Structure 1
Amino acid sequence: MLKLDDLQAILHTLVDNIDTGIHIINQDGLTILYNKKMAEIEGMNHSDVLGKNIPELFNFQKESESTLMSALQTGAVTKSSKQTYFNQKGQEITTINDTFPIYDCNKQIIGAIEVAKDITNLEQIIRDNILNKGDTKFTFDSIIGRSVNFQEVIENSKRATRTASSILIVGETGTGKELFAQSIHNGSKRSSGPFISQNCAALPDSLIEGILFGTKKGAFTGSIERPGLFEQAEGGTILLDEINSLHPSLQAKLLRALQERTIRRVGDTKDKKIDVRIIATINQDPIDAIANDQLRKDLYYRLSVVSLFIPPLRERKCDIPELSKFFIQKFNILFDLNIRGISKHVFSLFDAYDWPGNVRELEHIIEGAMNLIEPEEEIIDFPHLPLPFRQKTSSLEPSISEAMISDMFKDIDDDHLSLEKYMVNTEKKYLAKVLQDHDYNISKAAKTLDISRQSLQYRLRKFNLK
């Protein structure tokens, strides 16, 4: 049989190692037990809480809002109750609590115990994802680029504002997919409604379903009645970023929402009708994502009623001067500088560089350079560039002349094609030739091109080749 000391040691180990916060106060309201998890949730030191009253340690709008004090003073029992309050450092804390009074053998209250789950980060995530009309700052006027391919995407996006069909935006990281999504929302009849953005890769599967579709109270331990982002986006637009990161089971549930215009909260048995436009983004070729089992084929076809393919920066380098000018003006205002431009040497490196991080990388490089430039200097030159970029471009030979750099700021002559247009035309001609050589047999043409049939069909649709 266990000795009392052994039993206390076991209980102490259990209380301090479970993933649930525990706080116990005595009949005077003083803390007598406060485990490690509760200290972690509330951002407090164990030694600072023991022997202290709740009002000394935490701030509530009203003392009665403390479920622990309410249990002590009134005997109230609360279950799965959401509580938001502040610690001594002013940090906001949000928990789901089960709170009970403690009775002695004479049924007198001698204390209270609170068991808490931390949802502070979840609350912050939900708040951060909700963007009202005033926060969707991007419109089509915000989009910079005059290359042929890029202008075509802009025009197609403007046409898409006229309907409520779902949209799939395809583009590498840093190409500006959310910029297009916000512009479409602000140019549509839904512009007065909410715009909600959720990165599907930012949260674990255990959380994302409840955040998207909502939860019903009692569906699982600590769950409360909460509308999901789809319900909160009613009458507006929801952007699902990196849709290929969503678990296949959730992709199936999303497909149902698209087809039937209804959603079902986690743990509920009833469907709710929704009026939401869905825009999804993906940072890789969707055909490759399907082949790698990252994207359901049926969801792809349902999402891609309108497909927008944003070209990477390396395929529209003629836009670099205009983009650079915009970022310089932006950081001149932020940093109180008067930078007039970029040296020809730097522009030659920009033109030779492959830009794996796309427009976002260009912005960061210019911001980094303007942090290193002296206040009296007016031109960004090679020594001002961030060291990693200088190291990556040290072996690149300038590939354009001064005259060509000057021409980058002008419209391309009628008798010349941009690199992007030339590459597009070349790819289209080669695809057409290979198809013709194989009597338009897709399988044989795909084998010659060393790509899958789906990838070839995707390119044929992209280039409108029949």
Structure 2
Amino acid sequence: MKCNETTWLMYKAVLEELDVGVHIIDSDGITVIYNRKAMKTESMALEEVLNKDFRDVFGFEKNDDSTLLSALNEGKVTRNRKQTYYNNKGKEITTINNTFPIRKNNDIIGAVELSKDVTQLETVIKQNLVRAKKDVYTFNEFIGNSHAVQTMIEEAKQATRTSSSVFIIGETGTGKEIVAQSIHYGSDRSRMPFISQNCAAIPETLLESLLFGTEKGAFTGALDKPGLFELANGGTLLLDEINSLNFTLQAKLLRVLQERKIRRVGGMEEKEIDVRVIATINEDPLHALEQGRLRRDLYYRLSVVPLHIPPLRERKEDISLLTNHFIRKYNQLFGMSINGVDSSVQSALQQHSWLGNVRELEHAIEGAMNRAYQESVITLEHLPLRLRSSNIHMNTPKVHEVIGNKETLKERLERVEKDYIKDVLNGENGNISKAAEQLGMSRQSLQYRLKKFRESQIPDFVI
């Protein structure tokens, strides 16, 4: 049956929308089809691969390691095989492949490979192991003399005496991981691993394997691989932004917390674990419960020890202390000798709303010190533009919001947050990565907020 142009366009449209990489080579090893998902997985442009010899573009430890070449040269069919290889820039890629030859009259005329990307899963596990060895925070790293901070620290120190689950509530940039690590390193588990994972940073399809590990046989070529629970055994596992987990995974997590056993993906045997779980959330947990982002039973199980980290706008008496701390830090890093800030800067820092919290303040001071070359004091002109203005609209309630239109505190804060994020995004021409850096939050956290605003009843959220 011949394929006319219309039929081919239909096939091509389907190939481009598939959430699986499709790579087809002809009998000479030349790439003839390479879809969008494959480009994304392998970080390659179409022109770098299409009509090129497959062997000239991708690298393997040995050519025998290529499932696609095995299908072409030997007629070999492989299913659910894990494969690690390199693109033409030397980037390591790990995929799970289904590969088979294409035949015509018993002759092999090409080969096709369908691949799923697990590079991110492999990378995250490696990064967590490296971070577990490098990052060590204690209560001394949490800067603040305000009553709210000192009360929170005292409550956190009490939590070091037990192995109960801890639920840390705090906006992005408030220092949740510092508190979590401080609890771990102040406890009897301090000699055992501390593993941290942001649940919003990993696709849902990979999270289960990442948390619980994989068993040999889950897919062909898979090795027995421990998940984060096993890596943290005897120590502490921090699950950041727990409200990003889907309900199915939340139910499995609840079961692990109750039974203290995990089962790897593809496995039958249950393994006993001894892991203290600390979870964090960047919104009011009651709001997350109401909106269906957090299971009620999981919330009650995690919040044995609830800790609330106050946002910077609620402890502005700590701003001066934090500012001096960051100046000392970047003096050392940059080889500078800034002595402090002038009175206009102090006033601007006190007036700002700090929706990015302590992280935003640190980035503001770092940016100011980049501009204050060979100066001894940070002045207003050294601050980022959003702090220089003496009449920032987000700090001045609009008349219609105060008169004749009463708002709850929660509604007001949501509106202020929305306006500020919108202004920063517009200032960065819609570039989410740059806006996230300016706001002092991760790209994933910003994307989550944008999604929340668009789905909520907050009007006029248009970038």
Please tell me the TM-score bracket, short chain as reference. 0.7 to 0.9
Which residue matches 2:78? 78
| Separation (CA, whole Å) in 2 of partners of 1:54 and 1:396 | 55
CA distance in 2 between partners of 1:352 and 1:389 (Å): 9
Mapped contact 1:289–1:295 kept (Cα < 8 A): yes
TM norm structure 2: 0.74
**1:87 CA drift (Å):** 1.4
Task: Please give the alpha-carbon distance, in whole angstroms, between the structure 2 residues aligned to 1:110 and 1:172.
Answer: 57
Q: Distance in 1 between matches of 2:276 and 2:291?
A: 27
Task: Give the C-alpha shift of residue 207 in structure 1.
Answer: 3.8
SS at match of 1:324: helix
Identify which range, 234-243 or 144-153, moves more after superposition: 144-153
Q: List gaps (5 residues or longer) in structure 2.
A: 396-463
Residues 376, 37 of structure 1: alpha-carbon distance in 2 compared, 3 angstrom cutoff: closer
Structure 1 match to 2:166 = 167
1:193 aligns with 2:192: yes
Provide TM-score, normalisation by structure 1: 0.74
Q: Which deviates the most, 322-331 or 302-311?
A: 302-311
- Is it true that 1:156 corresponds to 2:170 in the alignment? no
Listed as ranges, the matches of 1:16-31 within 5 Å are 17-31=17-31
Q: Provide the aligned length of Structure 1 versus Structure 2.
A: 394
Partner of 1:314: 313
Distance (whole Å) between structure 2 residues aligned to residue 394 and residue 325 of structure 1: 24
Deviation at 1:167, TM superposition (A): 0.9
Change (3 A) 1:169 1:22: closer
For the pair 1:390 / 2:388, whether they are aligned, the reply is yes
Partner Cα distance (2:393, 2:322) in 1: 24
> Any conservation in 1 of the 2:82–2:220 contact (CA below 8 Å)?
no
**Shift in alpha-carbon separation, 1:390–1:83, aligned structure 2, 3 A:** same
Q: 1:68 and 1:327, CA in 2 relative to 1: closer, same or farther beyond 3 A?
A: same
How far has the Cα of 1:204 moved from its partner? 4.7
After superposition, where does 1:122-271 map in structure 2 within 5 Å? 122-215=121-214, 226-266=225-265, 268-271=267-270
Residue 367, structure 1, aligned to residue 366, structure 2: yes
SS in structure 2 at match of 1:201: helix
Structure 2 CA distance for aligned equivalents of residues 215 and 126 of structure 1: 12
1:166 counterpart letter in structure 2? S
Q: Which runs of 5+ in 1 are unaligned?
A: 398-466
2:53: which partner in 1? 53
Could you tell me whether the CA contact under 8 Å between 1:172 and 1:284 is conserved in 2?
A: yes
For the structure 1 residues 124 and 393, does the alpha-carbon distance in structure 2 shift closer, same or farther, using more than 3 Å as the test?
farther
- Contact residue 131 and residue 196 of structure 1 kept, 8 A: no
Q: CA deviation at 1:383?
A: 2.0
C-alpha separation in 2, matches of 1:379 and 1:330? 15
Aligned partner of residue 69 in structure 2, secondary structure: helix
Alpha-carbon RMSD across the aligned residues, in angstroms, is 3.3
2:94 aligned residue: 94
Call closer, same or farther: CA 1:336–1:262 in 2, change over 3 Å. Answer: same
Distance between the aligned counterparts of 1:275 and 1:10, measured in 2?
Answer: 53
Do the aligned partners of 1:23 and 1:33 also contact (CA within 8 Å) in 2?
yes
Partner of 2:116: 117
Which residue is equivalent to 2:332?
A: 333
CA–CA distance in 1 between the matches of 2:354 and 2:39?
46
CA distance in 1, matches of 2:47, 2:348: 58
Distance 1:393-1:14 versus aligned 2 partners, 3 A rule:
closer
Secondary structure of 2:200's counterpart equals coil
8 A contact 1:170–1:307 mirrored in 2 = yes
Residue 450 of structure 1 corresponds to none
State the 1:277 CA deviation: 0.9
Residue 325 of structure 1, CA deviation: 1.1
2:404 maps to none
> Which of 369, 377, 380 is the matching residue for 1:379?
377
* CA-CA distance at 1:65 after TM superposition: 1.7
Secondary structure of 1:280's partner? strand
Deviations 1:76-120 (A, max 9, x none): 332111212211122232221112244554x56554332222333
Asked if the contact 1:313/1:355 (under 8 Å) is kept, the reply is: yes
C-alpha contact (below 8 Å) 1:216/1:265 kept by paired residues: yes
> By how many angstroms is 1:270 displaced?
4.2
| 1:402-417 correspondence to structure 2 within 5 Å | none
Instruction: Give 3-state SS (helix, strand or coil) of 2:257's partner.
Output: helix
CA distance, structure 1, for counterparts of residue 53 and residue 335 of structure 2 = 50
CA 3–272 in structure 1, closer or farther in 2 if over 3 Å, else same: same
1:65 equivalenced with 2:65 (yes/no): yes
| Greater C-alpha radius of gyration | 1
SS of match in other structure, 2:208? helix
Change beyond 3 A, Cα 1:301–1:38: closer
Q: Contact 1:215/1:267 (CA < 8 Å) preserved in 2? A: yes
